[in-house]
Every structure is written in C-alpha cells, then in structure tokens.
Amino acid sequence: MSGNNHQYAFFLGCIAPNRYPGIEAAAIQTSKNVGIDLLPLKGASCCPAPGAFGSIDLNVWYAMAARNVVLAEQMKMDIALVCNGCYKSIWEVNHKLKHNDELRDGVNEVLKEIDMEFKGTVDVWHLAELYYDPKVVGVKKIADSVRRPLTGAKVAVHYGCHLMKPGKERHFGDTENPMWMEELVAALGAEPVQYRNKMQCCGAGGGVRGYDLTHALDITNEKLINLQEVGADALTEVCPFCQLQYDRGQVEIKDKFGIEWGLPVLHYNELLGLAQGMSPDELALDLHAVDVEPFLKKIL
C-alpha cells in the first residue's frame, strides 16, 4: 500500500467476482496504477439486485443495501464499486437514507436486530467516476498510465442506466448524450465511436432478463445493430450485468434469432488493464462468451 494513494472499500457485487473475475483483478491492479488502493469490504453481500429485490419489497432492498454501507462505515472508508446495478443500490440507498429521516429510522430499527446502525458517514463512488474526476485520478493520469495504447481500435461506449439515471437525483449532468466516458476511452489511445441511441438500456434490468429473455435480447439486438452500423471493434461498459447481457446475450441471440454478431464486450477496467500492459490471461478474457481475439489482434 503506497502512502499517498486514495483508499476505498471495494464493494464487489455478484457478477464481477462470480462470473467475470477478470474485472475484479483488473480493477484492483489498474486502480493501483493510478493511485487508488481498493481494500476488501469483508462480508458484503449482493447489493441486493435493484430490479429483483426492489420490485418485490423496497424495504428489504433499503435494509440490505444499508447493511453493506454500514460495513464500510465501520472501516471509516468510502465505497468504490465497478457495477451500475450495485451503484443504484448502494449509492442510492446511502443517499436516500442520508436525506430521509423517516426512511433511515425504519431501516435502523431492522439493523438494530443485528447490532448495526446506519450513520451516514461515508460516500459511494463508481470507479469510472473516480477515474474521470481530476481531484482523484483524472483523464490525464489515466493516459499517463498507458503502456500499450489501443491505437487503431474503434471502441463504442455503453453507459448503462443506473449510474447516471435518474439524472435529477444524480450528479453526472447530461444523460442524453454524455461524452465523459469517450474521453476515458480516448485516453487509452482508442478511437471512441458514436452510434445511434447510445443511451438505450441493455435490456436485462428490472428482472426482465429472468422474466422474458427473448424480450430482453430483442432490446440488446437493436443496440448491436446500431453498433455494427458504425463498425465498432468492441463495446465497453462499466456494468458487469450489462456485460453479461451483451456477451452471453450474443450467444443467446444466435440461438434464438439466428443472428451472429461477434462483437467483443469489455468492461472499462479490462480495457484499461490491456492498455496498461496486462495480458489477456491476467484478465481472464477467455471467460468471455464472445471471442475477444479479433479485438486483441487489432491492438497487440
């Protein structure tokens, strides 16, 4: 642990550690390279999934997300995470409980049963926003950390929904055509490409992936059509659940609709890892359902 690094409690969630562990490994390593230490948040659970849990009982969602926040409060450390779904649960519940006394009292009554109390003493951040924030990392420092520029690769950005929306509750500004992630992509030497309906959902959220897979995939497929039109070599996102939907979803789309896209999908931390010189093996890119090789050939 270096002396002047920023330190955060690393909230893992489910899909990064349990399906794409390369994201977890990349997040820890790439963050260290730009001055952020991610420390284990011991005993954290599922955020819990905002679509699944929030849809059936918001009170349980508040209480379980609050428990995860309290673990960080006990460490006296802000939380950093790598998933938009987790951000929705952890950031939003933290925010709501800080500003709504009635809600906080209700949650604390339940937390009391397990000797915990939500105090509202920490903040929650997505790693992507910390990378963009010049007070923490900033685009320049990201660019300076690059050892192997992704020159010649056209990379499209999928922002996902739950990081920036609903915009009036968040702090990211424009949610119709944001460009800050494109700046983060350009910092790696790749060419960020624009495409139609960039802010459209991946289709998986709100429990729809589990409820009606064909419906969810049809939304995903529309996005893949738009990405194909601009000749993207890869899609990058900051949400392992979106990644799952685009990556495994392409296999399911081939199965159900008979359409084969073959578009590599990489979490920004995986992309950053490649640019900082990590090998595909160190990122477990072989776990991706869609072969990442064509993209690697372009950049290596």
Partner 1 sequence: MAVKKDYKDQKLAEKLRDRKYYIPDSNPEFIKDVEKIGQTAAHMCYQCGTCTGSCPSAPRSSYRIRLFMRKAILGLEEEALTDPDLWLCTTCYSCTDRCPRDLAPTDAIMAMRNLAFKRDIVPRNFLQTVQLIYKSGHGVPNNDANRAARKKLGLEEEPETTHKYPEYLPGIRKIIDHYKLKENADRILAEGE
The answer to whether 54 contacts partner 1 (rule: CB under 8 A) is: yes
The answer to whether 21 contacts partner 1 (rule: CB under 8 A) is: yes
**Residue from 142, 161, 181, 184 that binds partner 1 (CB under 8 A)?**
161
**Residue from 27, 41, 142, 274 that binds partner 1 (CB under 8 A)?**
41
The answer to whether 133 contacts partner 1 (rule: CB under 8 A) is: no
Q: Tell me the C-alpha to C-alpha distance, in Å, between residue 280 and each of 145, 187, 272.
A: 18, 20, 12
- Of residues 271, 239, 250, the one with CA closest to residue 153: 271
The answer to whether 106 contacts partner 1 (rule: CB under 8 A) is: no
The answer to whether 81 contacts partner 1 (rule: CB under 8 A) is: no
Q: How far apart are CA 81 and CA 196, in angstroms?
A: 28
**Residue from 78, 123, 191, 282 that binds partner 1 (CB under 8 A)?**
282
CB 244 within 8 A of CB 266: no
- Does a cis peptide bond (omega within 30 degrees of 0) precede residue 48? yes
Phi, psi of 67, rounded to the nearest 5 degrees: -60, -40
Number of residues that bind partner 1 (CB under 8 A): 68
The amino acid occupying position 249 is G
Closer of 67 and 154 to partner 1 (Cβ): 67
Least distance between partner 1 and beta carbon 151 (Å): 27
The answer to whether 136 contacts partner 1 (rule: CB under 8 A) is: no
**Residue from 98, 108, 207, 259 that binds partner 1 (CB under 8 A)?**
207
Q: How far apart are CA 166 and CA 188, in angstroms?
A: 29
The answer to whether 53 contacts partner 1 (rule: CB under 8 A) is: yes
Q: Among all chains, which residue has been given the structure tokens 């009635």?
A: 102
248-255, Cβ contacts within 8 angstroms, sequence gap of 24 or more: 248/289, 249/202, 249/203, 249/204, 249/216, 249/217, 249/220, 250/224, 250/289, 250/290, 251/289, 251/290, 252/213, 252/217, 253/217, 253/220, 253/221, 253/224
Closer of 50 and 264 to partner 1 (Cβ): 50
The answer to whether 262 contacts partner 1 (rule: CB under 8 A) is: no
The answer to whether 157 contacts partner 1 (rule: CB under 8 A) is: no
**Residue from 34, 82, 190, 208 that binds partner 1 (CB under 8 A)?**
208
Tokens matching residue 100:
């709504």
Which residues 6+ apart lie within 8 Å of 165 measured at CB?
175
The answer to whether 1 contacts partner 1 (rule: CB under 8 A) is: no
First and final C-alpha spacing in the chain: 30
Query: Angle 261-262-266 (CA atoms, 0-180°, nearest 5)?
Result: 120
**Residue from 64, 224, 272, 275 that binds partner 1 (CB under 8 A)?**
64
The answer to whether 216 contacts partner 1 (rule: CB under 8 A) is: yes
**Residue from 34, 72, 79, 116 that binds partner 1 (CB under 8 A)?**
116
Least distance between partner 1 and beta carbon 193 (Å): 21
Name the residues that contact partner 1, by CB under 8 A. 10, 12, 14-15, 17-19, 21-22, 24-25, 40-46, 48-60, 63-64, 67, 110-111, 113-114, 116, 161-162, 165-168, 175-176, 199-201, 203-208, 210-212, 215-216, 218-219, 222, 281-282, 284, 287
